């Protein structure tokens, strides 16, 4: 009889012990496996001479790819900067093959990319819009940090340096052969 009286107490204790142990367990470590994707928004400075003195603008990126290992991710990225001033817009973007290297399995990463650059400007005058474009080489270097917020979801602050060369004969870009942009973005990444 005494033994039967202990059974309900033992069952109750075992049911409560599971959730209590789970609350004190460390969060699951981030895993870089398979497909990953990230996007972010922020701002930046363009160092090109033709920015009409307005160097500050909006920046954004979209990157995705696959995990080679816990420390190396390969993929592609679309990254850009733009601004609108007095009815004229100017934008600079890159489409690059990108690699992210994590010195430790998670957290801090270094980014490098190379690919194609695009530059565009448009202005409206007397009801007509004039658009000019140019293209060339794009190279990016970046530094970021994945802050785990749940499972394999991360908040990712980034600093990116974009270097672009240009091949153009139009009047807006004449005499300019390269440019650089420094971007500061905050994004979300899923691994």
Q: Tell me the per-residue pLDDT of 79-89, one tens digit each, with 9 for 90 and over.
A: 999 888 777 78
Please tell me the predicted confidence (pLDDT) of residue 6. 46
Burial label, 69 (beta-carbon count in 10 A; 0-12, 13-18, 19+):
exposed
The mean per-residue pLDDT over the stretch 68-97 comes to 89
Q: Is the confidence at residue 43, as pLDDT, over 50?
A: yes
**Spatial CA neighbour of 117 closest among 167, 45, 42, 62:** 167
Q: Is the confidence at residue 7, as pLDDT, over 90?
A: no
Burial label, 55 (beta-carbon count in 10 A; 0-12, 13-18, 19+):
middle
pTM: 0.74
User: How far lies 169's CA from each of 47, 79, 121, 177, 183, in Å?
Assistant: 20, 24, 14, 10, 27
What residues does 147 pair with on adjacent strands? 155
117 within 8 A of 135, measured Cβ to Cβ? yes
């Amino acid at each position: 009889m005494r033994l039967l009286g202990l059974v309900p107490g033992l069952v109750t204790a075992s049911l409560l012990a599971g959730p209590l142990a789970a609350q004190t367990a460390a969060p699951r470590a981030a895993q870089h496996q398979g497909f990953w994707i990230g996007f972010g928004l922020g701002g930046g400075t363009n160092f090109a001479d033709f920015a009409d003195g307005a160097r500050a603008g909006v920046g954004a990126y979209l990157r995705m790819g696959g995990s080679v290992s816990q420390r190396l991710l390969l993929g592609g990225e679309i990254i850009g900067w733009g601004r609108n001033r007095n009815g004229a817009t100017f934008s600079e973007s890159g489409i690059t093959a990108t690699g992210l290297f994590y010195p430790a399995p998670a957290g801090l990463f270094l980014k490098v990319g190379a690919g194609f650059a695009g530059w565009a400007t448009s202005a409206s005058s007397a009801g007509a819009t004039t658009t000019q474009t140019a293209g060339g080489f794009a190279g990016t270097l970046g530094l970021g940090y994945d802050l785990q917020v749940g499972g394999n979801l991360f908040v990712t602050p980034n600093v990116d340096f974009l270097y672009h060369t240009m091949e153009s004969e139009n009047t807006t870009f004449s005499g300019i052969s390269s440019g650089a942009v420094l971007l500061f973005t905050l994004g979300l990444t899923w691994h």
